[in-house]
Structure 1
Amino acid sequence: MNHHDSGLISESPGKGFLLGVCAVASLGGLLFGFDTAVISGTVSSVSERFALSGWHVGWFASSALLGCIVGAAFAGVLSDRLGRRPVLIAAASLFLISAIGSAVPPNFGWLAIARVVGGLGVGLASVVAPTYIAEFSPAAVRGRLVALYQLSIVIGILLAYLSNFGLQNWSEHLVGSSAGIAWVDWLVRDETWRGMFGAEVLPALSFLLLLCFSPESPRWLILNGQAEKGRQLLGHVQALHAAEAEYRAIIDGTLNTKSSWTEILQPRYRRALIVGVGLSLFGQLTGVNVVVYFGPSILESAGIAKDGALAFQVGFGVINLVFTLIALALIDSWGRRSLLIGGMSVVSGMLLVVGALFAMQSEAQFRWSEYGIVAALAIYFAAVALSICAVIWVLTPEVFPNQVRGTGVSIATFTNWATNALSAFWFPVVTERFSMQTAFFLFAFICLIATYFFYKVVPETRGRSLEEIETGWLHVSKASLT
């Protein structure tokens, strides 16, 4: 086996095995991103095909989020009882069922059900995949490896944008002609939105097949009567002396404690719960998913033509990807806390700038405000990708102790999806009843509060084992943690 430094993780006995395990789990993030972003290219076509009212369009756009909320709510308990791997297999199966069901529904009702099913898969994967990666990863590289999950989400979003764009162009080339295959004509030329949803089949099937060859989390095995098997897996991903020390720390730190909804409410877990829920709550209130869902509409409101708005949205996706890669490189050297607080300060500032430019535009005080809005949103995406979007998936599974990690991550991720849904619902209401600048000023104000919250309560976890972080919650003062 090659032991040369890969740049992602340092020399270790099983870095190829470790990277392979984490890469497979990260496919859950890619499907997460693809499934939530693919809808952006289908709304108008689906609305026309099924003659949808405004209420039905809203339900179509948010149906997957309902599934996400339910999936996230139960993922922790299921993964603690059944294991991380079986729940990921269930998520992959739901992705596959949803992709097929969304591509071939006979009516709108079946399409909405298929979207809810896909949302269930997203909810399960968003809880279990980062937890699975964190429980496999040595402390020194855990940040970068868990950040692979966020990178995969961003890649999934960009792939959905590119897939939608490519299928739309292909359909235009096929107008008045035929691809020579009846089902291709149906999925691409005649009803392109079906092909957009169907494009998810390949990654979903790949995820499902690869999981069949993936191992269970070593920590879950140790905590559930398969200690020797878990011990051997730890030895595959780090030096034997480090694996033995980590094995002992898991045994000493957990004993026979089991996760439950009531256990996590105990005082000794309270601060971890506050940090985990706070990350998820404020992570959505940055407005990042609102801009993902409504970005073209926001830019059109700024005076940019539809084609230009779509092009800028793809550009934002590229910026998101580039700065997620930068975060991946920095998260274990700069630390989670530094990236989080520094990035959120920039996010707050850019939201204020966007709000101010919309206000100036409404009063005709700034002729070229639309270009300022594009520039501010570009910086905003860079800062969000470098901070909260990368840190949340790393820090959330880190802050919860072994005994309650599944349940804790589930509660935090449930908060994430619930806040996501609420943000998606209230944004068009606020912009319609008040103004675009009002919405962005509200986001900016919330982000300022979030930055202060992160400064006061979020610890630095860089370089610590999960058991050391747990000991910190239980025995170390707030000052030494931060």
Structure 2
Amino acid sequence: MTRLVQLKGVKLVEASLQSPKDGVSMKFVTLVSIVAALGGLLFGFDTAVVSGAVGFMEERFHLSELQVGWAVSSLIVGCIVGAAMSGVASDRFGRKKVLIFAAILFIIGSIGSAIPDTFTGYIIARMIGGIGIGFTSTLCPLYNAEIAPAKYRGRLVAFNQFATVTGIFLTYFINSGIAGYGDHAWDIENGWRWMFGVGAIPGVLFLILLFFVPESPRWLIKQGRPAEALPILIRIHGEEAAKQEVHDIKASFSQESGSLRQLFKPGLRLALIVGVVLAILQQVTGINAVMYYAPEIFKATGAGTNASLYQTILVGFINFAFTILSLWLIDKVGRKALLLVGSASMTICLLAIGIAFHTGHTSGPLVLIFILLYVASFAVSLGPVVWVILAEIFPNRIRGRATAIASMALWAADYVVSQSFPPMLSSFGAASTFWLFGAMSLITVLFTWRVVPETKGKSLEEIESLWTQGARKSS
């Protein structure tokens, strides 16, 4: 049985595929979440594509070492700006409109990065694309969290991270295929341009599909438009549950001031601390240092250039496979359990890698095995879980701005780690560098154990009440 539902002037046909148990239309929710998660695919593509292009660009534009670093990190600077703007913009104009704007920026950035005749033109285009990625990296998980049923919210929000690692993994092969299409001179003049330009294809697909998804129902209720939100919630939950959800969302808004100062009050102050600290810890435990510089790490173990590239692809595959495992586990075992087990395993792996470099036992498969275990541990825990928690823990009225603060902290930490890793390797040595990352992983274990609450199976309004109830108990 199908019925036509009018959503903002667009008629969409919905098959009645509701579970008799909980009344959730998983077809609708999953399709909407996949569309939003395409933003993660763009994120993964844009962060990985430069690894294959930068060597050819170095020859084309005669870049210095400093300029090579800027060619890589200029995207991250744009991401920080985009993340900082995403909260205010999405709270004012809506999640959907800002995501559409982000898709347009990404398309401009992809095409603009492919066509410049000057290095300055490339940097400008990369920063424009980075602003778009800053928007999507913040708002895609947030949008999914606001539209997903509590029972399935973890895996639906984690689609974003799955899409990100998929984008990274596929980009390795796209870069390899383009580089092999012509000779070295063609790669220097044209190959790197095609690597960046291909990104416009998923960007256009993302832009088109966004016109067929609804606005976040929680944002609509915040704007005083519950009549528009109710049909969306009915499609997700069924009629009775949807009416109750509208009531709960309205009640949560009545208890919120809508000011960021609310985040510094007892209870919600802890939510801000959890969000910002987890965002920073996700980066300072070293994952992007490993992902960005994996070939150089493997070369340091004695692997040849070709072997190090194959090992890097293996790292990408492990990241991809264990992110899929996380999608299956996150709503079964919970966010906190995954964080604890994953960060503890990362601590052990980083300690072992440091010992291998310290003792000089880096030949053979030992370092590769522990790096793969480290990446697997991250992929099943901090990678997807942090983004899920950031999308869940903040109050409805200020979720956009609060998530933006945490996301900006994450991107800033990413920039610091990516810029400082090569100097740390040369100044302190590989052993001390990996031990430092291991210490950060141990801090993650302790912080999660003592401070991070479990949010599995709770509605966003129930999670919000956890903080306020905690504040009342402590006062």
Interval of TM-score (by shorter of Structure 1 and Structure 2): over 0.9
TM-score where L is the length of structure 2:
0.93
Q: Does 1:413 align with 2:407?
A: yes
- Residues 100 and 271 from structure 1, CA distance in 2 versus in 1: closer, same or farther, beyond 3 angstroms? same
Q: 1:356 matched to which residue of 2?
A: 355
Equivalence for 2:17: 3
Q: Is the 8 A contact 1:396 1:412 kept in 2?
A: yes
Alignment of 1:77-156 (within 5 A): 77-156=88-167
Contact 1:268/1:473 (CA < 8 Å) preserved in 2?
yes
Answering whether residue 303 of structure 2 is matched by residue 309 of structure 1, we say no
Please give the alpha-carbon distance, in whole angstroms, between the structure 2 residues aligned to 1:432 and 1:293.
Answer: 16
Deviations 1:60-105 (A, max 9, x none): 1110010011111110111011100111011101110011001111
Question: What CA distance in whole angstroms lies between the structure 1 residues aligned with 2:419 and 2:408?
Answer: 17
> 2:74 maps to what in 1?
63
Does the CA contact (< 8 Å) of 2:60 and 2:188 recur in 1? no
Match of 1:240 in 2: 239
Equivalent residues of 1:347, 1:447 under 8 A apart: yes
The answer to whether the aligner puts 1:329 opposite 2:328 as a matched pair is yes
- Give deviations 1:167-216, integer Å, cap 9, x for gaps: 112224xx79xxxxxxxxx6x68421111111101000100111122211
Contact 1:37 1:292 in 2 (8 A): no
Give the TM-score normalised by the residue count of structure 1.
0.92
Distance 1:311 1:193, change over 3 A: same
C-alpha separation between the residues in 1 aligned to 2:473 and 2:342?
Answer: 22
For the 8 Å contact 1:344–1:447, the answer to whether it is kept is: yes
Instruction: Please state how far the C-alpha of 1:477 moved relative to its aligned partner.
Output: 7.2
1:266 shift after superposition: 3.0
User: What residue in structure 2 maps to residue 369 of structure 1?
Assistant: 363
- The answer to whether the Cα contact below 8 Å between 1:171 and 1:190 also exists between their aligned partners in 2 is no
State the superposition RMSD in angstroms.
2.0
Q: Whole-Å Cα distance in 1 between the matches of residues 311 and 473 of structure 2?
A: 44
Contact 1:25 1:133 in 2 (8 A): yes
Deviations 1:296-337 (A, max 9, x none): 111111111111111111111111111111100010010000
What does residue 387 of structure 1 align with?
381
Q: How far apart, in 1, do the equivalents of 2:240 and 2:124 lie?
A: 50
> Which of structure 1's runs of 4+ aligned residues deviate more than 3 A?
9-13, 256-263, 476-480
* Counterpart for residue 437 of structure 1: 431
2:17 is aligned with what amino acid?
H
Q: How does 1:264-343 map to 2 (within 5 A)?
A: 264-343=263-342
Q: Judging changes above 3 Å, is the alpha-carbon distance between structure 1 residues 11 and 40 closer, same or farther for their aligned structure 2 residues?
A: farther
1:33 touches 1:152 (CA, 8 Å); kept in 2?
yes
Structure 1, 266-275 or 377-386: larger mean CA deviation = 266-275
Name the counterpart of 2:261.
Answer: 262
Aligned to 1:403: 397
Alignment correspondent of 1:47 = 58
Question: Closer, same or farther in 2 for the Cα pair 1:130/1:462, shift >3 Å?
Answer: same
Please say if residues 220 and 228 of structure 2, whose CA atoms lie closer than 8 Å, have aligned partners that are also in contact.
Answer: yes
> Are 1:341 and 1:454, in contact at CA under 8 Å, matched by a contact in 2?
yes
Aligned AA for 2:413? T
Distance in 2 (CA, whole Å) between partners of 1:65 and 1:418 is 8
Asked if structure 1 preserves the Cα contact closer than 8 Å seen for 2:24 and 2:149, the reply is no
Contact kept in structure 1, 2:16 and 2:25, CA below 8 Å: no
CA separation of 1:243 and 1:2: change in aligned 2, threshold 3 A: closer
> In the comparison of the two structures, how many residue pairs are matched?
460
Deviations, residues 392-450 of structure 1 (Å, cap 9, x unaligned)? 11111111111221111101000000000000111111111221112111100111111
Q: Distance in 2 between matches of 1:258 and 1:89?
A: 28
Q: Do 1:299 and 1:370's aligned partners in 2 also have CA atoms closer than 8 Å?
A: no
Say if 1:280 and 1:412, in contact at 8 Å, map to a contact too: yes
2:315 and 2:455 mapped to 1: Cα distance?
Answer: 30
Deviations along 1:259-303, whole A, 9 cap, x unmatched?
444343333420100110111010001111111111111111111
Counterpart of 1:17 in structure 2 is 28
* Paired position in structure 2 for 1:181: none
Structure 1 residue 165, shift from structure 2 partner:
1.2
Q: Secondary structure at the match of 2:332?
A: coil
Amino acid of the residue matched to residue 376 of structure 2?
Answer: A
Query: SS state of the match for residue 262, structure 1?
Result: helix
Distance between the aligned counterparts of 1:388 and 1:463, measured in 2?
19
